[in-house]
Amino acid sequence: MAAISPFFLLFLIPIVPLSILAILALIVRPRPIKIPIKSRHVFITGGSSGIGLALAHRAAAEGARVSILARSAGKLEEAKKEIQLATGVEVATFSADVRDYDAVSKAIDESGPIDVLIVNQGVFTAKELVKHSPEDVKFTIDVNLVGSFNVIKAALPAMKARKDRGPASISLVSSQAGQVGVYGYAAYSASKFGLQGLAQALQQEVIADDIHVTLIFPPDTNTPGFEEEQKSRPEVTAIIAASSGSMETEEVARKAMDGIKAGKFTVSCNFEGFLLSLATTGMSPQRSFWLAFLEVITAGPIRLIALFFQWDWYKAIEKWSKTKTK
């Protein structure tokens, strides 16, 4: 009798994970989907520089009809020339400030029904909240969050009305600062965390129209915007952000585009980003039962790792503030 128990236990060990996997395969919603790019209309905001421009290059290279929106007509022209030189494709350009709903609406109507909307515009200044002006805080939230609402609202009716044009996609470029709030990024993190709430709710509202929402979480990326930001970011911010490292713009755009095409809800760009996504999955939907399985079995250990990072960060903050008060 005693010999049976350990064998029975051994048999039990694979049964539990296999059952979880089977349950997940049955229940994950929304179901996986692929988003085609070739010959479809891709509309990118903040598309004249940085990640947006790199995404426009990729979309053009993959045979999409591309439109880019930004504020500066000059930069739009330059971007258009650059893409033409590199790919031979002519992109449509639209000049508007995302905070202006009517201007955005006009641009989107002119561009025609959109299949793949990439909401990518973003501004960021790293500064302690006490040093940040109220105007700057409002600017960050207005452009990054309210602006995203304006773009999506303007594009939605035509996206919903498209018939037999296949699955549509609304992608939002967030940031790792939209997964964890970091010293110096109160306003920026707030605006990017907001995109998560928007995306989760929006997916529930548009799934019946075959529209699929994607959130992209780049780390520090070597864009012109980032170079500017680095000059003035607080020391503590730099120390904490170093936990994740930085990436090249083209690499981020490649990962982002692959994620959009794979119809994922959450797209991360490097390994640390992947771990961070597991830690912060929260109430995000998960369309892949394999990733869902990974989330379930790693949730505990990853929370432990997250707590270690917090320990590290708070010790660094304590040490740094002691040197400042001396």
Partner 1 sequence: MAAISSVFLFFILFLVSLLIILAFIVRPRSVKIPIKSRHVFITGGSSGIGLALAHRAVSEGAKVSILARSTENLAEAKRSIQLATGVEVATFSADVRDYDAVSKAVDESGPIDVLIVNQGVFIGKELEKQSPEEVKFMIDVNLVGSFNVIKAALPAMKAREGRGPASISLVSSQAGQAGIYGYTAYSASKFGLQGLAQALQQEVISDDIHVTLLFPPDTDTPGFEEELKKRPELTSIIAASSGSMKTNEVAKICFDGIKAGKFTVTCHFIGFLLSIASTGMSPQGSFWLALIEVMFGGLIRLASLVFQWQWYKTIEKWSQKNK
Is 192 a residue of the active site?
Answer: yes
Farthest-apart Cα atoms in the chain, separation: 83
Amino acid at 205: E
CB of residue 100 vs partner 1: minimum separation in angstroms? Answer: 10
Nearer to partner 1, 38 or 322 (CB): 322
Tell me if 73 sits within 8 A of 46, measured CB to CB: no
Nearer to partner 1, 232 or 310 (CB): 310
Is 188 a residue of the active site?
Answer: yes
Is residue 215 near partner 1 by the rule CB under 8 A?
no
Nearer to partner 1, 62 or 105 (CB): 105
Write the interaction track for partner 1 spanning residues 41-80; mark x where CB under 8 A is met and - where it is not: ----------------------------------------
Is residue 189 near partner 1 by the rule CB under 8 A?
yes
Is residue 281 near partner 1 by the rule CB under 8 A?
yes
Q: How far apart are the first and last CA of the chain?
A: 71
Question: Which of 43, 94, 185, 217 contacts partner 1 by CB under 8 A?
Answer: 185
Write the interaction track for partner 1 spanning residues 222-261; mark x where CB under 8 A is met and - where it is not: --------------x---x---------------------
Rounded-to-integer distance, Cα 22 and Cα 97, Å: 48
CA distances from 19 to 23, 26, 87, 289 (A): 6, 11, 49, 12
Is residue 276 near partner 1 by the rule CB under 8 A?
yes
Question: Which of 43, 94, 124, 183 contacts partner 1 by CB under 8 A?
Answer: 183
- The count of other CB atoms within 10 Å of the CB of residue 114 is 23
Instruction: Detail the DSSP E strand segments found in the chain.
Output: 41-45, 65-70, 92-95, 116-119, 168-173, 211-217, 220-221, 246-247, 266-268
Tell me if 119 sits within 8 A of 172, measured CB to CB: yes
Question: Which of 231, 283, 323, 326 contacts partner 1 by CB under 8 A?
Answer: 283
CB of residue 245 vs partner 1: minimum separation in angstroms? Answer: 17
* Segment near partner 1 (CB under 8 A); pick from 115-123, 134-142, 216-224, 253-261: 134-142
* Segment near partner 1 (CB under 8 A); pick from 33-41, 111-119, 248-256, 315-323: 315-323
Nearer to partner 1, 111 or 196 (CB): 196
Q: What's the token pair of residue 222?
A: 């070597």
Is residue 271 near partner 1 by the rule CB under 8 A?
no
Q: What's the token pair of residue 187?
A: 């306003």
Is residue 299 near partner 1 by the rule CB under 8 A?
yes
According to DSSP, the residues that pair with 212 across neighbouring strands are 169
Query: Helices (H), strands (E): how many in the chain?
Result: 12, 9
CA distances from 94 to 52, 77, 182, 229, 257 (A): 14, 10, 34, 26, 22
The residue annotated as part of the active site, out of 48, 75, 188, 191, is 188
HSE-CB at 263 with a 13 A cutoff on CA atoms is: 19
Instruction: Detail the DSSP E strand segments found in 73-203.
Output: 92-95, 116-119, 168-173
What residues contact 259, with CB distance under 8 A and at least 6 apart? 214, 216, 267
Q: Which of residues 13-32 bind partner 1 (CB under 8 A)?
A: 20, 23-24, 27-30
Is residue 218 near partner 1 by the rule CB under 8 A?
no
CB of residue 129 vs partner 1: minimum separation in angstroms? Answer: 6
What are the residue numbers of the active site? 174, 188, 192
